[in-house]
Structure formats: structure tokens, C-alpha cells
Amino acid sequence: MPKLYIVRHGHPESGWSQDPDPGLSEVGQAQAAEAAKVLANYAYQQVVSSPMARAIQTARVSASELDIQTEQAIREIPSYWVPSSQRQSWLDNTLRSTWDSVEPEIKVWRESLTNWATSLEKDTLAFSHFVVINALIATATGAENVVNALPDHCAIAEFEIIDGQLHFLSIDKELDSSVMV
């Protein structure tokens, strides 16, 4: 029964509407360093990261001594068809919707993400994004809403794969207020 630990990336240096692939801010670097201390207590056999800069940088700080592979399946929610000036508004609307009502491209992305997660054979540490964590929680729990948890930056969500089914176990820290993607 493999476990999947997903760490949300640290605080980015800019928002989605300003930069489609920002790195970490100084706060994000500090969050990743704190996550490294927590992750020292976890057992895993492989480390993967979204190819996005903020996730890779979080992984390099949090799991620096390990071989980190990039994994396309845990990339941020796709939005290539949305003009950059409309991205934040589009994301806000998407986060308030249900999985049944999202664009077909997002449904395909979520299916690929789920297939990746349920096919894991080793305990895995992954560095990824807010919506990735929420997509997997929805898959594991059968929830219809896109957002079912508010993972803070560098929060760790824990899942278990049993007989090809994803089970949500916990998340260590959530935002107290509005969603900060």
C-alpha cells in the first residue's frame, strides 16, 4: 500500500496573472526550509516535482540531497487557452465550480493526474500545486467541488493507494482565510 505525500509549493515571487511560471519568494524559500525539517520524519522511495519553477525550487530546498524527477502529471491546472489578463478571474471562477462543470481539458488533466497517482508502486514524495491536491482529494472522497481543502504553502497532504484506489488521509496545515493560489 504505497503512500503519496504531496507538498504544495512555497509562496511564489509573483501571482499567476503576472508570471505563468514564477519562482519562490524569500518567504517561499523559508517555507521550503521548514518543510524540509518536517519531511525528515517521512519515509519515501522516490521524489517527483511538477515541472513548474516554484515546485522545483521547493523540492530542491526541501529534498536537496535526493534525486528529483519532474512529472508532467502533477503540473498546475491547465489554462493555456486563457489570456494572461483573464487568468486570475478564470481561476477564481474555476475554484468555485464543480468538476462536472470544468472545461474538457481540465477533465483530461485530472484523469491523467488520477491515473498517475493510483499507479504508484512506491512511497512517493511529490511537490506540486493547490489544485493538484484538491483534485486528488476530490478523487479520493468523491467530492464534486473543485476546492475541498485550503492547503497552505508547503502543506503536506497524505494519501494511500489501496488496490488501485486513492484514499485521502490528512493535510497538515490549511489556510485560515481566503484561497491564496
| DSSP H or E stretch at residue 176 | none
Can you give the pLDDT at residue 177? 60
Residue 176 has pLDDT above 60, yes or no: yes
Q: How far is 42 from 83, CA to CA, in rounded Å? A: 40
**Is 48 in a helix, a strand, or coil?**
strand
Q: What is the DSSP string of 54-85?
A: HHHHHHHHHTTTS-EEE-GGGSPPP-TTS-GG
**CATH 3.40.50.1240 correct for 3-171:** yes
- Read off the pLDDT of residues 61-108 as tens digits, 9 standing for 90 and up: 998 777 899 999 999 999 999 998 899 999 999 999 999 999 999 999
Neighbours of 65 (CB within 10 A): 6
Q: Would the pLDDT of 181 be above 80? A: no
In tens, the pLDDT along 22-36 reads 999 999 999 999 999
Residue 88's identity, in one-letter code, is Q
Q: How far apart are CA 46 and CA 69, in angstroms?
A: 8
**Domain boundaries defined on the chain:** 3-171
